[in-house]
Amino acid sequence: MARVLLFGPLRDLAGWRERDIESGSLAALRSLLAEEDEALGLALDGPGVQVAVDQALVRGDMPLGDGSEVAFLPPMSGG
Partner 1 sequence: MIRLTDQPFDPGALLTAFAEGRSETGAIATFTGIARAEAGATAILELEAYPGFTEAEIGRIADQARARFGLHDLAILHRIGRIGPGEPIVFVATAAGHRRAAFEACDFLMDYLKSRAPFWKKEHGPGGERWIEPTAQDHADRERWDKETTG
Task: Answer left, alpha or beta for residue 11, where phi above 0 means left and psi between -120 and 50 means alpha.
Answer: alpha
- How long is the chain? 79
Q: Judged by CB, which is closer to partner 1: 35, or 76?
A: 76
Instruction: List contacts with partner 1 (CB under 8 A).
Output: 5, 7-9, 12, 52, 55, 71, 73-79
Q: Judged by CB, which is closer to partner 1: 32, or 50?
A: 50
Quote the CA–CA distance of 22 and 3 in Å, as a whole number.
9
Nearest distance from C-beta of residue 33 to partner 1, angstroms: 18
Nearest distance from C-beta of residue 61 to partner 1, angstroms: 20
Contact 1, 70 (CB under 8 A): no
Q: Judged by CB, which is closer to partner 1: 5, or 27?
A: 5
